[in-house]
Amino acid sequence: MAAKIIDGKLISGQIKEELKLEVDELKERGIVPGLAVVIVGEDPASQVYVGQKEKSCAALGIYSEKHALSAETSQNELIGLVKELNKNSKIHGILVQLPLPRHLDESEVLTAIDPEKDVDGFHPVNVGKLVIGEEAYLPCTPHGVQELLIRSDVDVDGKDVVIVGRSNIVGKPMAMILLQKKKGANATVTVCHTGTRDIAAHTRQADILIVAVGKAKAVTGDMVKEGVVVIDVGVNRTEAGLVGDVDFETVKEKASAITPVPGGVGPMTIAMLMMNTVEAAKKKVSE
């Protein structure tokens, strides 16, 4: 049986339709959700991502500001801008596009963002809340993966989930999200990484496999079991075009469901950023 394709474009579109209604309701109450995106330097991929975020804001009726800074911007200048945005009542969410130029301290910059406006979910306060199971802004990519699973009727409760990759952006928060004793979670989670002796031994046990290693076709068909659900977070540019961290052609023959690249997790990341921004605006209404 051919694997079901988990369509991130379709699902993200459904989420944005729901968010558009929420934005309209907020506007009737005098609140326009606002997102500020800060980008430093001319990294081509970052420029594309920021453009996609601006387009999504416009489509949903979210107010957006883009602050494009030169690659020579100092740490103090960047921190100063973040502090100004913290005080700006028109801005409910702040996103500093990563990676930053090497001379800048990412950790200090992210920590400078008001946790209530940290719609990327990277502030230590929000990371800590996630770990202990309190309400917090969830990092957009792992949150998007969870939404893909929920909206594709993939039951995570009690399942063996294997995550390949332990980055602070995807792997670690993904594990924390799926460990929670909550709807769409409550899984038994294994995290594999460069120190794992036999990754294939773990991936073959997975009911749900999430791969985020940044290496093209790192997981192949012989590394998975029949019926596995596969979420491919990776995007790698090759001569043949964009490919994921999973060898789609061989893995789809054994998987029950799988995300494509592109068109799988990518659209969900931006949808979750929009969701977090709307949530931040709704909190201001309730204050």
Query: What digits encode the pLDDT tens for the residues 181-240?
Result: 999 999 999 999 999 999 999 999 999 999 999 999 999 999 999 999 999 999 998 888
What are 15-56's pLDDT values in tens digits? Answer: 999 999 999 999 999 999 999 999 999 888 888 888 999 999
User: Is there a domain that residue 273 lies in?
Assistant: no
* Predicted TM-score of the model (pTM): 0.95
Over residues 258-272, the mean pLDDT reads 96
Q: Per the residue annotation, which of 16, 53, 172, 217 is the catalytic one?
A: 53
User: Is there a domain that residue 13 lies in?
Assistant: no
Over residues 154-159, the mean pLDDT reads 98
Q: Per the residue annotation, which of 16, 97, 247, 252 is the catalytic one?
A: 97
3-state helix, strand, coil in the chain (%, to 5): 45, 15, 40
User: Is there a domain that residue 124 lies in?
Assistant: no
User: Is there a domain that residue 55 lies in?
Assistant: yes
Kindly state whether residues 146 and 82 are assigned to the same domain: no
Kindly state whether residues 155 and 96 are assigned to the same domain: no
3-state secondary structure of 67: strand
- Checking if the pLDDT of 1 tops 70, the result is no
Name the percent of the chain lying above pLDDT 70. Answer: 99
Over residues 59-81, the mean pLDDT reads 97
Q: Per the residue annotation, which of 16, 118, 120, 207 is the catalytic one?
A: 120
Residue 87 annotated among the catalytic residues of the structure: no
Domain harbouring 219, CATH code: 3.40.50.720
User: Is there a domain that residue 214 lies in?
Assistant: yes
**Number of folded domains that form the chain:** 2
- Checking if the pLDDT of 287 tops 70, the result is no
Kindly state whether residues 152 and 80 are assigned to the same domain: no
What residues make up the domain containing 56? 30-114
Domain harbouring 65, CATH code: 3.40.50.10860
Kindly state whether residues 179 and 250 are assigned to the same domain: yes
Q: Measure the CA–CA gap between 115 and 126, rounded to whole angstroms.
A: 7
Residue 180 annotated among the catalytic residues of the structure: no
Going edge to edge, which strands form the sheet with 93-96?
63-69, 34-40, 93-96
Residue 97 annotated among the catalytic residues of the structure: yes
Q: What separation in angstroms does the CA of 133 have from each of 32, 182, 234?
A: 29, 9, 27
User: Is there a domain that residue 151 lies in?
Assistant: yes
What does pLDDT average to over the chain?
95
Kindly state whether residues 165 and 235 are assigned to the same domain: yes
User: Is there a domain that residue 279 lies in?
Assistant: no
- Checking if the pLDDT of 286 tops 90, the result is no
List the beta bridge partners of residue 94. Answer: 36, 118
